[in-house]
Amino acid sequence: MDPSNPQFDLWLDGAPRPAASGACFERHSPYDGAPSGVFADGGEEDAERAVDIARREFDTGRWPTTPARRRYEILTETARLLTANAQALAERMVLESGKPITLALGEVASSARCLQYYAGLALSTEGSAISERNPSALGLVLREPVGVAALITAWNFPLLGVVCKLAPALAAGCTVVAKPSHLCPGPAMLLARYLTEAGLPDGVFNVVTSQLEQGAVVGQHFASSLKVDKVAFTGSTASGRAVMRAAAVNTKRVALELGGKSANIVFPDAPLEEAARTAIGAFTFNSGQQCSAGSRLLLHRDIHDEFVAMLAEHASAQVLGDPREATTTMGPLISGRQHERVLGYIDLGRAEAKLVTGGGRPADPALERGYFVEPTVFDEVSNSSRLAQEEVFGPVLSVIPFETEEEAVTLANDSAYGLAGGVWTGSMDTALRVVKGVRTGKMFVNCYNTAGIDDMPHGGYKDSGTGREFGQVGLEEFQELKTVQILLR
């Protein structure tokens, strides 16, 4: 088998299985078009089979009643296996998605930490005795697994995006079916192998891969199945709404991690050089393909010209190149379709704003086969424009001037989204007022995605979704709360 173009079957009942139709699809590198993997093209029959397996394993109680210590051991061993195989996992991400190797290795490390974190939480239980009015009564508060969980995940973080849902689901005692994005399914398939190697019982985790058209069928089947108790989805807001509608058939739990158009706000008393350098990373990390990207930069008028010049300088320092090279900071976009979409937004920006730097494909002929886009900065953008309101999902920044703190908060909130945001200032009073005023799921103060604090909840307000991932609340998303009242005799 060619290691650069291996074949992956579905993962059902603890083993690789072909799709019922026998069909497959091939992925190609967005960097140079080389084949990167062949995957089973699952359909509705495969989705139903996966759900039936997970339902069986939950209803028999084999996994839900597995001792917490054993769940801890399996998740811990899986974390160890991810770390031991970090290079192979990272290279698979690079081949399929074009993510730079340094970012891919970081994603593997984050995924291992996430597994270890939820391994620890698997050992925790919650209960309380309540006997204030009757000493002969005992009250218990129990947390139980929600049941069969369906995970529908995106391509931009193809390993961590699965792990941050799967780890708490398994820690809680749920059984799982998953559909990774067709654009980068390999890491999820390797994860399934490592989990089985770590001792996860057959049938507890099942993966169905499929092409774009079939993928919608599989995802909708998971969401609408009466045998599924919880759906956790990451993707576009439009797709999230479709999942929510399908899931309403039996009012199952739904968690949606959707889009964003996050505002990064800079005041005159901020550390400007650091803020400018970080602002570039906030919208170019992973080539801008992240839902919490700081894609709107709100700049105080007093520092506007100076700061925009800094942005242009730092943007030019980004290294676009072969994602296999450690020096590369920006790889290609995931696909030709996404490449055309981002270039379309850049054309839109040229018509409605002032181009500062970037604006298209890099001139380097060595990159012409890849789906590359230069880090692009537009200035004097109207907050009501499409460029400021719609999620580009590429390395495009909209600079929007403001004059007062109140105006900055109003501009930040004038968005359908509410996932993340940042504020840069030397005044903690200003920072806290802005943090409280901006309606988003998370805020960064004098940093952006760089504080290094793991395991804090992630999720958004408004069209950025419902529910949270990571942290204690991430475990609770996969648990039902039960109260028990006992009268002692």
Extract the tokens encoding 159.
């390993």
Instruction: Please give the Cα distance from 103 to 8 (Å, whole number).
Output: 24
In tens, the pLDDT along 166-192 reads 999 999 999 999 999 999 999 999 999
* d(C-alpha 466, C-alpha 479), whole Å: 16
225 φ/ψ angles, rounded to the nearest 5 degrees: -65, 130
Query: Exactly one of 114, 164, 174, 291 is catalytic; which is it?
Result: 291
Catalytic residue among 91, 257, 391, 405: 257
Residues 6+ apart with CB under 8 A from 119: 71, 72, 73, 75, 76, 79, 167, 171
Computed over every residue of the chain, the mean pLDDT equals 95
What domains sit in the chain, N to C, each tagged with a CATH number?
7-258+466-485 (3.40.605.10), 263-454 (3.40.309.10)
Can 274 be counted among the known catalytic residues?
A: no
Which DSSP letter does residue 320 get? B
* Tokens describing residue 144: 């139980």
Decide: 190 and 21 in contact? Cβ < 8 Å: no
Q: What is the pLDDT of residue 266?
A: 98
Closest CA to 266 of 439, 447, 390: 447
Report the largest interatomic distance among the alpha carbons of the chain, rounded to a whole angstrom.
83
Told to judge if 291 belongs to the known catalytic residues of this protein, a careful annotator would answer yes
Q: Is the pTM for the entire model greater than 0.75?
A: yes
Helices (H), 85-174: 86-97, 101-122, 160-172
Instruction: Dump pLDDT digits (tens) for 67-86.
Output: 999 999 999 999 999 999 99
* Residue-wise DSSP of 379-429: ES--TTSHHHHS---SSEEEEEEESSHHHHHHHHHSSSEES-EEEE-S-HH
In the chain, % of residues over pLDDT 90: 91
**Element spanning 297, H or E:** strand 296-300
**Residues 333-386: tens digit of each pLDDT:** 999 999 999 999 999 999 999 999 999 999 999 999 999 999 999 999 999 999
